[in-house]
């Protein structure tokens, strides 16, 4: 299963929680859901979806890996900063499924973080039933 995510800026954070939840099969009552980004310049995290925090994520990534630096990979694609930022984010998250729903904490959301946008991306969603007793 996959979902499509459209970013609007070079660095952009998009809440994909509802899209991921819609991919959980109705007959899966207990198990896990893994969200995987098949891109080297984007990542996925679980955190709070609060507008100022989303902005802070983008600001922090820019401070950790500044655009102004010259990186060797820039000689090829001029997007080394995006690759390096994605390393810090990670390419996947796994969330428990309990009683058919994503078992996220009260303030948790699944966030897709674009580092080389704007782009249209594909995010893979896989589910695994819990092992039977």
Per cent of the chain over pLDDT 90 is 98
pLDDT tens digits along 14-39: 999 999 999 999 999 999 999 999 99
pLDDT tens digits along 51-95: 999 999 999 999 999 999 999 999 999 999 999 999 999 999 999
How much is the average pLDDT of 95-112? 97
How much is the average pLDDT of 106-117? 97
Report pLDDT for 131.
85
pTM for the whole thing? 0.94
Phi first, then psi, for residue 89 (nearest 5°) are -80, -40
- Model confidence at 133: pLDDT above 90: no
How far is the first Cα of the chain from the last one, in angstroms, to the nearest whole number? 27
């Amino acid at each position: 299963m996959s979902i499509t995510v459209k970013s609007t800026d070079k660095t952009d954070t998009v809440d994909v929680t509802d899209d991921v939840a819609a991919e959980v099969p109705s007959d899966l009552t207990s198990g896990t859901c893994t969200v995987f980004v098949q891109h080297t310049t984007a990542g996925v995290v679980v955190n709070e979806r609060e507008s100022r925090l989303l902005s802070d994520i983008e600001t922090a990534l820019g401070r950790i890996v500044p655009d102004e630096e010259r990186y060797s990979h820039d000689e090829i694609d001029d997007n080394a900063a995006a690759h390096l930022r994605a390393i810090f984010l990670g390419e996947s998250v796994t969330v428990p499924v309990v009683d058919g729903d994503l078992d996220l904490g009260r303030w948790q959301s699944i966030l897709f973080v674009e580092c080389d946008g704007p782009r249209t991306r594909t995010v893979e969603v896989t589910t695994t039933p819990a092992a039977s007793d």
